[in-house]
C-alpha cells in the first residue's frame, strides 16, 4: 500500500531480510500475543467476578412450596390478555423430587401442559400458609 514495503514475514522479498529480522520479529510477535492473552484473561476474570456477585445459592427440600417464575410467551397458564402486565410468579407448587443440585420436579396441575422439571433459578421460596386456598380453574 502506498509503495511502502510491508514488514510481515509472508511478503518479504529478499531472503537476507528473513534471516536477519526473523527472530526479532518472532520474539516481538510472541510478546504481543502474551500481552493480548493477559488482557483477555483480566477482562474474563472481571466479568466472572461481576457474575459471581449476582449468584445466590438456593436449596429446597422435598414437599416445600415454591413459586414458579413465568415466561408468558412460553407458558400455557393463562395470565391475561396483556403479557407485560401479567404476574411474574405463579404457584405455590409442591416440590416432588430433587434432580441433582440445580433441578427440581414440581407438582403442577393437570391443565398446565409443560414439563414439570425446573431449574432452581426459576423458583422462589413460599412460606406455606394453611389458610391460603388457590383455585386453578382455567379461564
User: What pLDDT digit, counting tens, does each position of 39-48 carry?
Assistant: 999 999 999 9
User: What pLDDT digit, counting tens, does each position of 82-106 carry?
Assistant: 666 767 787 788 899 999 888 999 9
Q: Which domain holds residue 44?
A: 1-55
CA distance 126 to 104: 15
- pLDDT beyond 60 at 11: no
pTM equals: 0.53
Q: Does residue 45 fall inside a structural domain?
A: yes
Cell numbers standing for residue 121? 433459578
Same domain, 70 and 46: no
Same domain, 39 and 10: yes
Q: Does residue 31 fall inside a structural domain?
A: yes
User: What pLDDT digit, counting tens, does each position of 72-85 carry?
Assistant: 565 555 555 666 67
Q: How many domains does the chain have?
A: 2
Same domain, 26 and 69: no
Q: Give the domain CATH number at 84.
A: 2.30.30
CA distance 57 to 127: 18
Counting residues of the chain whose pLDDT is more than 70, the rounded percentage is 65
Same domain, 45 and 77: no
Of 28, 55, 82, the one marking the end of a domain is: 55
Amino acid at each position: 500500500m502506498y509503495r511502502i514495503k510491508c514488514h510481515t514475514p509472508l511478503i518479504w522479498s529478499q531472503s537476507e531480510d528473513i534471516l536477519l529480522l526473523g527472530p526479532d520479529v518472532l520474539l516481538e510477535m510472541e510478546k504481543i500475543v502474551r500481552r493480548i492473552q493477559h488482557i483477555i484473561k483480566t477482562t474474563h476474570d472481571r466479568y466472572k467476578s461481576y457474575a459471581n456477585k449476582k449468584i445466590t445459592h438456593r436449596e429446597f427440600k422435598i414437599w416445600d412450596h415454591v413459586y414458579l417464575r413465568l415466561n408468558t410467551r412460553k407458558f400455557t397458564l393463562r395470565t391475561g390478555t396483556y403479557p407485560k402486565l401479567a404476574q411474574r410468579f405463579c404457584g405455590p407448587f409442591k416440590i416432588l423430587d430433587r434432580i441433582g443440585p440445580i433441578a427440581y420436579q414440581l407438582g403442577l396441575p393437570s391443565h398446565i401442559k409443560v414439563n414439570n422439571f425446573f431449574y432452581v433459578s426459576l423458583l422462589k421460596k413460599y412460606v406455606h400458609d394453611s389458610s391460603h386456598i388457590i383455585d386453578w380453574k382455567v379461564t
